[in-house]
Structure 1
């Protein structure tokens, strides 16, 4: 004769078996839906118009990056020109007239309100900066 406990174990097994089947079916359906959605999204990305839009965006981004790089190079060249200009003026005695975009940053001003003398400026025997034409 069977006891009540034996029937309960069978019911538990049936319950867990059916719960496993249900969860497996739900997981399979969700996976299939996600796979179909991913396939549809990929198909939408592989249309000629989508590819052309991606290429156009990439070209526009490249153009912006090149423009930014060129602006940085121009600014660096202007800064170098401005840094070398006092040395060239002092060495040659000539003063070049430059356009506003070629001047670069203004020289630093000291605490006394005068221009700060950099090492490249010529200094006479008294320690005063020499300005103007170079003497022979």
Structure 2
């Protein structure tokens, strides 16, 4: 706004920044409110792919459970207690111990869960559960 007086012929010219600050604050609040919503706004159906082979490891043991609930460690039949001791020995001798577990689909989940618990209690931290690929 320019003011002039009869006493002084100088023009007073100043920029009024109050409307600018008001608009910037409104934009800032709008951005702060909408920014968290942008992270969860996108819903994507991921494509299904063919199964890939895992990266090779130094030493891997395969634990198998057949349809009758019999446990095998690399084709050697073991009981649940023997599985725990075998996995403990394996973990003690191999620092990067890796175990793959494959179970028949007819085996009760409790048997598979007990085998997984025995493997975990033995100190094995790398466990892969094998499944059949989609046809």
**TM-score bracket for the superposition, by shorter chain length:** under 0.3
* TM-score normalised by length of structure 1: 0.24
Ranked by relative contact order (alpha carbons within 8 Å, sequence separation 6 or more), the top structure is 2
Structure with greater strand percent? 2
* TM-score normalised by length of structure 2: 0.24
